[in-house]
Amino acid sequence: MIEGPLGLIFGGGRNAIAETVEAFRENPEKAAARDAARDIATLSQFAAEFRAARASRFDRIVDGINRLPRPALAMGTLGLFVAAMADPVWFAARMQGIALIPEPLWWLMGAIVSFYFGARHQAKGQEFQRSIAETLARTPEVLRNTRALAALSAGATSLGQDAPGTGPNPALDDWRAGQGG
């Protein structure tokens, strides 16, 4: 009598209750499996991209050129300071030439530099914000731990114990009595 209705609901390897619930709510196990498969596929794609040897000399040259702008700008700026100190007249003549550059060209250069470095700056800024948030999230735990350690230390000192957090130790007391202290 019980086998008939239960066989109707759970028969044939099916679970009608689970199937009905899954119509309204995502199955967490299947979602986790899909997420894991997607993560594995993404990491495999990245690994394949970076594992592939650069086949052409052109790729290696372009990679090298892409790494030059930041160090070149930094070294160039330091070079300007050195040039201004080494030969001020030569430096002033060069700066007079720069003063003749039209304003729209400065705007164009500013836009190019902003877009080139802006993405990196934004990514680093967001990474910094994330690290600050993680640090702030750990602050209450660190404060609790610090207070607990201070309480243990204060308790151990007031009781004259050797190690923080230990209670009365009859065996240690007997040993000390046997040692004459």
pLDDT computed for residue 25 by the predictor: 83
Say yes or no to pLDDT of 160 above 60. Answer: no
Q: How confident is the model at residue 103 (pLDDT cuts 50, 70, 90)?
A: very high
Query: What is residue 13's predicted lDDT score, i.e. its pLDDT?
Result: 60
Residue 21 has a pLDDT of 76
Cα(28)–Cα(22) distance, integer angstroms = 10
Average pLDDT over residues 18-24: 76
Prediction pTM value: 0.35
What average pLDDT does the chain have? 81
Query: Is the confidence at residue 89, as pLDDT, over 90?
Result: yes
Most confident of 1-10, 110-119, 143-152: 143-152
pLDDT at 161 over 70: no
Kindly indicate the confidence band of residue 127, based on its pLDDT and cuts at 50, 70 and 90: confident
- Which residue bears the tokens 């899954």? 22
Burial 14-30 (b: 16+ CB within 10 A, else e): eeeeeeeeeeeeeeeee
| pLDDT given for residue 82 in this prediction | 95
Among the ranges 4-13, 29-38, 155-164, which has the highest mean pLDDT value?
29-38
Q: At residue 160, what is the residue type?
A: G
**Ramachandran bin of 169, using left for φ above 0, alpha for ψ from -120 to 50, beta for the remaining angles:** beta
Which residues, including other chains, have CB under 8 Å from residue 9's CB and lie 6 or more apart?
Answer: 15, 16, 17
Q: Judge contact between 16 and 10, C-beta under 8 A.
A: yes
Q: Give me the pLDDT at residue 171, please.
A: 84
